[in-house]
Structure 1
Amino acid sequence: MARHGFRLFKWTVYGLLALNVWLFLRTEETLTAFIDSAAWVALLAVMEWESTSLEKPYDSRFEKRIIGLVSVTAYGIIIYAWYGYFREEDWVDFINASAWLMVCALLSWQIWMPGEYEGREHAVIKAAKFATYLVIVACALWWTIDAENPLDAIDAWLWLVCFAVIELNVFGFEARQAGEQQDAAELAAQE
């Protein structure tokens, strides 16, 4: 039942995010903001796919290539927008985008390089993520208080919730892996 509730929550949040991107298309003055948001949605979709199937291999080379192509394209667009924020001296957006790119790098590390879930590496990743999410929350608070465009604040908080869902997917996988490692160690100790 809890698993069904989580799925319902997750897809409700993703649906709200899709609505949010559509609203950006309708309200932003440039197509660039929409394309940047759409690239983030594509990257979020890839991370959702990969974080929910961590224990399974790819079904085919085609699946692996499509996921790689979508990821590379999304990162290319996102990094181009990130550079645009820097060039235009839009510091809050630049800092926010930098922090999100760091979150993506850390999540990718966890997805592709799983290691010991109780060791030093895990502690460093957790500390880096905590600090990075604090920066993102600070940006979200800035947009909430500044409120030049209320959609900016809604967008910031919605993205935090979406990535919290991805984090929960990864956390669930890590908890299962840590439990399996502990069970194996206990079994080996009994022999």
Structure 2
Amino acid sequence: MTGLLFRAFKYTIYLLLAINIVLFFQEDYLAARETFGSNIGWGNFVEAFSATIDTAAWVVLLLLFELETAVISDERLRGGLKWLLMAVRSICYVFIGWAFWGYLGKLGLVSGHEPFVIANVCELVGTGFTWLSDLDEYLPIDAAACAALSGSDLVRINGTQIIGTPDAAAAAVRLAWVDVINAGDWIIIVLMLEVEVLLQLRGRLTEALMRASKLVKGVLYAILFAAAAYWGVLGDFLDFWDAFLWLVAFIFIEMNIFKWQAETAEEAEPGLPVEASS
């Protein structure tokens, strides 16, 4: 019964992450309309929808890790199935790398702004200008925004009709940096997991390597927790919620690998190497 409840909880986390793909698409779409208008093409598509592409690729990759470490037996992880999983994984990494490039592009976009001088901000009501509330959140300039922005120093993101206060622009840049650091951190972690899976399949994942990996990944996960906390403090709930779910999800993957390695070690005869299963 306990095992059934655990699996139900685990797969509920995975389902919630899949739902986040839709939520990020909605957020990216609304933001892209303001930053790129109708000029979205292959050249800037990843920059406009980086969070959506990133989340979708990671969800597929997460499911692949789950299949390899907890569902499919070592004996079946060979031949055509092995190559199929490798092909899907390779596609995921292409999109993850593409999304990381998009985060870098978005950082460059919000970092490029210049002073914006206007006598009366209310003249911008109904003109298509928006104001920067948060990274990826650009709101129409209405009477309330006009009153809030009047008398403040303003900046404009280069090449757009997005304006905001210098403090708001600086906050957006900080958030963009957190996106880049978070995405890069996850790439390092997942590459370490790939190495662990490969070594495990070849019977070479020793306890010493597992301990060293835990130390390195402890630092990397601490950075991810800090990023999640930063999003939580700033009130960016979707980013915070998504970061929290991913941390929980990959704790499950780590548990799968620990259990897999322990079971393989128990099955091996003392003094003999574990036979590679694929």
- Specify if TM > 0.5: yes
1:117 aligns with 2:206: yes
Secondary structure at 1:94 match in 2: helix
Relative to structure 1, the CA distance from residue 92 to residue 54 in structure 2 (aligned partners, 3 Å threshold; closer, same or farther) is: farther
User: What residue in structure 1 maps to residue 15 of structure 2?
Assistant: 15
TM-score by length of 1: 0.85
Structure 1 residues not aligned, in runs of 5+? 187-191
Between 1 and 2, higher relative CO (CA 8 Å, sep ≥ 6) is seen in 1
1:86-134, CA deviations, whole angstroms, 9 ceiling, x for partnerless residues?
3443211111111101110111111111225322x22221111111111
User: What residue in structure 1 maps to residue 26 of structure 2?
Assistant: 26
| Alignment of structure 1 residues 28-107 onto 2, 5 Å | 28=28, 29=31, 30-52=48-70, 53=72, 55-58=74-77, 60-61=79-80, 63-89=81-107, 90-107=176-193
Identity of aligned residues (%): 34
User: What residue in structure 1 maps to residue 154 of structure 2?
Assistant: none
Runs of 4+ aligned residues of structure 1 deviating over 4 Å after TM superposition are: none
Cα distance in 1 between the residues matched to 2:207 and 2:52: 40
Rg: which structure is higher? 2
Higher strand share: 2
User: What residue in structure 2 maps to residue 185 of structure 1?
Assistant: 270
User: What residue in structure 1 maps to residue 217 of structure 2?
Assistant: 129
Q: How far did 1:55 drift?
A: 2.8
Higher helix share: 1
1:58-104, CA deviations, whole angstroms, 9 ceiling, x for partnerless residues?
3641x223212211111111112212323443211111111101110
Q: How far did 1:54 drift?
A: 5.5
Relative to structure 1, the CA distance from residue 109 to residue 116 in structure 2 (aligned partners, 3 Å threshold; closer, same or farther) is: closer
CA RMSD of aligned residues (A): 2.1
Relative to structure 1, the CA distance from residue 116 to residue 24 in structure 2 (aligned partners, 3 Å threshold; closer, same or farther) is: closer
Q: How far did 1:12 drift?
A: 1.0
Equivalent residue pairs, number: 182
Cα distance in 1 between the residues matched to 2:211 and 2:12: 32
User: What residue in structure 2 maps to residue 143 of structure 1?
Assistant: 231
Structure 2 residues not aligned, in runs of 5+? 32-47, 108-175, 272-278
User: What residue in structure 1 maps to residue 243 of structure 2?
Assistant: 156
Match of 2:253 among 149, 153, 166: 166
